[in-house]
Amino acid sequence: MTPKQDQTGNTGFLQYLRYEKHYSEHTVQAYLTDLGQFQQFLALQYAIEDSTAVKGQHIRSWVASLMGEGIEPVSIRRKISTLKTFFRYLLREGKIQRSPLQQVSLPKIGERLPSVLPEKAMYNLLEQMKWDDTYEGWRNRLLLDLLYQTGIRQGELLSLKVSDIDLYQHRIKVLGKGGKERLVPFGKQLATNIQKYLSLRQQQFAGACADTLFITDKGKPFYAVLLNRLVKSHLSLVSTQEKRSPHVLRHSFATHLSENGADLNAIKELLGHSSLAATQIYTHHSVERLKQIYQQAHPKAGMQEHEG
């Protein structure tokens, strides 16, 4: 980060994201990456190195260039969301009088259903697959099991501490977005698996990373790149779909709850969503599934016109 970038608020913005918004390090780095790309575009195309000089036309030009590169609208909207937060911060600090985002329209995106694994696939992975009876085998299974059975985010999983697990009341204390805590329940079988993992962990790494729940084979805290690699390789064993990430397990958790009749407000609380709007997509997925069942099963579903 150069001094010129610092004087436009990047350093203060970094502190704001970490210590006021309480965003995870993963989210903070994503924001800084998006902001860095925008500032690089400004420097190359307009020789602008002071973010306080940005106007709506500069942002619209960047959006056009991103679309020209074939960047998905949903990704562009995420980048614009980063800029909204950044310029909101500059407004608060008195560095600008008006956000240039007021003059920018976001590209429209069609509503896309989240990628979800079938219940059968998850059953085959977690219950039918043979796992090594070793520390690594139990840890890897538990990582996948927790993501699917609790729906917690990748960053929330990696920040879990041993002290966050309540094996008696079968619940986990999760620190979510914005530093908000929530309690997520889990079942008896998962509690048994957690106990087994903790026992093996103690035997193999006594005293290492004392309160960090998941640690690597070398006794270091588990990290995002390794988790994504683990999830992708194991989901490949039960699914051929393109998306195979920790977030797919979160989507699967919520969708399977919805399909089995769970209340939408309950799903919202379990996921840690701030509003129902973000949770609605899982009911849409259920409706699509019901449509498919109807088309396959109802004798009149395939008829093009009513016979009189």
Task: Give the tens place of pLDDT for each residue, 20-50.
Answer: 888 888 899 999 999 999 999 999 888 898 9
Do 179 and 141 fall within a single domain? yes
pLDDT band, very low/low/confident/very high, at 307 (cuts 50, 70, 90): very low
222 SS3 class:
coil
Say what the pLDDT of residue 308 is.
41
Does 305 map to a domain? Answer: no
Last residue of a domain, one of 42, 73, 103: 103
Does 170 map to a domain? Answer: yes
Whether the predicted pLDDT of 209 surpasses 90: no
Do 34 and 177 fall within a single domain? no
Does 111 map to a domain? Answer: no
For residues 134-157, give the mean pLDDT: 95
CATH of the domain at 36: 1.10.150.130
Does 307 map to a domain? Answer: no
176-185, 228-237, 272-281: least confidently modelled range: 272-281
Whether the predicted pLDDT of 70 surpasses 70: yes
Do 92 and 152 fall within a single domain? no
Do 240 and 91 fall within a single domain? no
Does 113 map to a domain? Answer: no
Do 70 and 138 fall within a single domain? no
Last residue of a domain, one of 55, 74, 103: 103
The number of folded domains in the chain is 2
Do 47 and 85 fall within a single domain? yes
Do 139 and 270 fall within a single domain? yes
Last residue of a domain, one of 103, 129, 159: 103
Do 172 and 285 fall within a single domain? yes
Q: Which domain holds residue 131?
A: 119-294
Q: What is the pLDDT of residues 242-253, one digit of tens each?
A: 888 999 999 999
Can you say how many angstroms the Cα of residue 63 is from the centroid of all Cα atoms in its chain?
Answer: 24
Point out the residues that are catalytic.
153, 177, 247, 250, 273, 282
Beta-ladder partners of 165: 172
Do 145 and 97 fall within a single domain? no
117-121, 159-163, 275-279, 302-306: least confidently modelled range: 302-306
- pTM higher than 0.75 for the full model? no
Do 223 and 258 fall within a single domain? yes
Looking at the chain, list the stretches that DSSP marks H as alpha helix, in order from N- to C-terminal side. 3-7, 10-15, 25-46, 56-68, 73-92, 119-123, 135-150, 154-158, 188-204, 224-235, 246-259, 264-271, 280-297
pLDDT band, very low/low/confident/very high, at 110 (cuts 50, 70, 90): low
Beta-ladder partners of 215: 221
pLDDT band, very low/low/confident/very high, at 177 (cuts 50, 70, 90): confident
50 SS3 class:
coil
Residue with tokens 């889990």: 186
For residues 47-54, give the mean pLDDT: 90
